[in-house]
Amino acid sequence: MKIYAHRGASGTHPENTLAAFEEAARLGIHGVELDVHLSKDGELVVIHDETIDRTSNGVGYVKDLTLAELRAYDFGNWFNEEFARESIPTLEEVLKIFQQTAHHVNIELKSDIFPYEGMGEKVLYLVEKMGMSDRVLISSFDHEAVRNFKKLAPHIKVAILTMDVLVDAYDYARIVPADALHIYLPSAHRKTTKEALLKGAIIRVFTVNDEVNAHALEKRGVHAIFTDFPERMKSVLEKGEV
Ligand code: G3P
Ligand code: CA
């Protein structure tokens, strides 16, 4: 079972910062996950929430601030003062780190609240420019965005994100169409997941930070997990069940 570092190595470093991604890049894991929004001036920025309130010393919606305005804030100190100089990264800055490694990069399009017109096209342009289309995976809770991206770039893998317990998950993913399902941990233990796996679905589960669930999911045949603690989870899985 593969490991993706969720928002970078976000259990030990401030989520979605260069520090968190550099730490993930150092680890021999399969991949990394990150979240993108569009700034007021149309830049692709890496941050989880629609606002900067929780993860910086500023306030406001990402969509209402320019990149220069966003850069004025500190995105590390809230986590630990040791990271006080961390800034909000652009998608290009994060991809540059992984251009040098073999990691797969899961870009989550955060267009489920604000539609961020043209975001998919911008992501695609950047991924192609950086020659990373074979190592990039696009996902979103906005399944319309997943569908549109797949239409634009059939050669790039896409996944639907869901927190729901779906009926016929495998069939739904085919309708979108999506290459994989990224599902919420509680639903990973439900019958629908077992059925989807049996039908051949590719399933990755978020967010798995404990070894009991990690071993159970591996046994079940889940393809990958997203974890905030990639280094610890790597050693848990390498050791095997005791
Ligand atoms: O992509 C997996 C996971 O990151 C989805 O949920 O809220 O952490 O972005 P969230
Ligand atoms: Ca995410």
Distance 134 CA to ligand 1 centre (A): 22
Distance 11 CA to ligand 1 centre (A): 14
pLDDT of residue 242: 74
Separation of alpha carbons 19 and 31, rounded Å: 16
What's the pTM?
A: 0.98
Instruction: Output the residue whose Cα is nearest ligand 1's atom 10.
Output: 48
* 112 lies in some domain: yes
Mean pLDDT across 55-72: 98
pLDDT band at 236 (very low <50, low <70, confident <90, very high): very high
- List the domain range (segments joined by +) for residue 107: 2-50+89-239
The residue with greater pLDDT, 85 or 131, is 131
Instruction: Output the residue whose Cα is nearest ligand 1's atom 7.
Output: 48
pLDDT tens-place string over residues 187-199: 999 999 999 999 9
* 36 lies in some domain: yes
CATH classification at residue 22: 3.20.20.190
The torsion defined by the Cα of 162, 165, 167 and 171, in degrees rounded to 10, comes to: 30
* 61 lies in some domain: no
pLDDT of residue 101: 98
Centroid of chain to Cα 144: 17
* Mean pLDDT rounded to a whole number for the chain: 97
Mean pLDDT across 24-47: 98
pLDDT of residue 121: 98
pLDDT of residue 103: 98
Instruction: Please name the amino acid found at residue 144.
Output: E
pLDDT value at 124 more than 80: yes
Q: What ligand has the least distance to the C-alpha of 106?
A: 1
Mean pLDDT across 34-40: 98
Q: How many domains does the chain fold into?
A: 1
Instruction: Please name the amino acid found at residue 87.
Output: S
Q: What ligand has the least distance to the C-alpha of 35?
A: 2
pLDDT of residue 241: 84
Instruction: Output the residue whose Cα is nearest ligand 1's atom 5.
Output: 206
Distance 242 CA to ligand 2 centre (A): 31
Question: Which distant-in-sequence residues (6+ apart) come within 8 Å of 188 by Cβ?
Answer: 203, 205, 217, 220, 222
* 78 lies in some domain: no
In the structure, which protein residues have their CB atom closer than 6 angstroms to any atom of ligand 1? 6, 33, 35, 48, 108, 139, 161, 182, 206, 226
Mean pLDDT across 175-187: 98
* 184 lies in some domain: yes
* 194 lies in some domain: yes
pLDDT band at 71 (very low <50, low <70, confident <90, very high): very high
